[in-house]
Amino acid sequence: MCDREGRGFLFIHPGRSGPLYRFCSMGCLTAGSTLAKENTGMIDKTAREIQALKDARRPFAEALTDLGLMEPFFHRSPADIDRLIESVVTGYVDSMQRQAGVQERTGTTLDDPLPF
């Protein structure tokens, strides 16, 4: 549903031999299985998810322009831009889920290691 990695929440359409869908959470499993049942086993982006991606393109383009990075992205397809947006959102949400229940960090410069 959200394009995050599936982790143990599985659904197979009743009475069918496949496909097996994996979900990241119980919420995505519930939403995905409902969509699959309504659409003969197919799970696609909902109208809201599609609209959310379209709505995110403008702020993404504005940030790229502000940072002087628009040129390499100017001729990319909407699908490429949507993939970038989805990967950022997925990484952010995954991090927030991993941090849940962990003591809050101090937020100082030395508390945040660079990822490279």
Q: Can you give the residue range of the structural domain that contains 56? A: 45-101
In a domain, 111, yes or no: no
DSSP-based three-state secondary structure for 80: helix
Q: How many domains does the chain have?
A: 2
In a domain, 114, yes or no: no
pLDDT value for 110: 62
Give yes or no: residues 37 and 58 share one domain.
Answer: no
Residues 1, 28: contact at Cβ < 8 Å?
Answer: yes
Q: Render pLDDT for 34-85 as a digit per residue (tens, 0 to 9).
A: 776 666 555 567 788 889 999 999 999 999 999 999 999 989 999 899 989 9
In a domain, 112, yes or no: no
Give yes or no: residues 13 and 51 share one domain.
Answer: no
Give yes or no: residues 50 and 97 share one domain.
Answer: yes
pLDDT value for 89: 86
Instruction: Show Cβ contacts of residue 7 under 8 Å, excluding neighbours closer than 6 positions.
Output: 22, 23, 24, 25
Within 13 Å, how many C-alpha atoms sit on residue 89's CB side?
A: 16
In a domain, 108, yes or no: no
Average pLDDT over residues 28-32: 78
What DSSP character marks residue 40? Answer: T
